[in-house]
Chain A
């Protein structure tokens, strides 16, 4: 399968714990995006990378959130000191970049903070 993959698919954690999610983009896609989606809403942009450089971060990305893409391939999203409001689906997408910049999404990681 050459699509975007995300691990884990589901994560249940207690409030205050740290969690880390991984995203493997489509190979040769140099852009990688993180979005968050809550029930009944469309995905909201969090951050994106062009190769290993993090080019933009949303105001939604508080200091407890950090994302990395150290070698320009896979990416990790870490949430420290989780809160119940962090419960959501975390989606990763990748794209080949301009001129065709269509973003392809992974299946997401569903986080539940208890």
Chain B
């Protein structure tokens, strides 16, 4: 089956620095990847997605990088702000539409 894992359970960064959150996936058939942000007591919030035919996609202050060779996904957040503090999940779909989530990385932004 699919498994999605995150390398670091907690990441602490200073305000203004860049954050990098990593994720590994196991299913080489995965073709769609999404990053979500979840604040306490709320549902996951869509941040950015990428398909397997791309290796990079940029949004506002966020960039997702996909390395299919080593089955690795990363989320880069530029100029991290206190409002970025949350748990971040990567999720992937394979042949089915259901998302498989990892356990999450908690991002703590220090002033």
Contacts and interface: CB of A to CB of B under 8 A. Distances in A.
Interface of A: 4, 31, 33, 35, 40-45, 48, 56, 58, 91, 93, 95, 101-108
A4 B43 CA distance: 10
Contacts, number: 55
B49 A102 contact: yes
B100 A45 contact: yes
A41 B9 CA distance: 11
Interface stretch (B58-66, B73-81, B89-97): B89-97
Which secondary structure characterizes the binding site on chain B? strand
A56 B98 contact: yes
Contacts of B102: 42
A41 B99 contact: no
Interface in B7-44: 32, 34, 36, 42-44
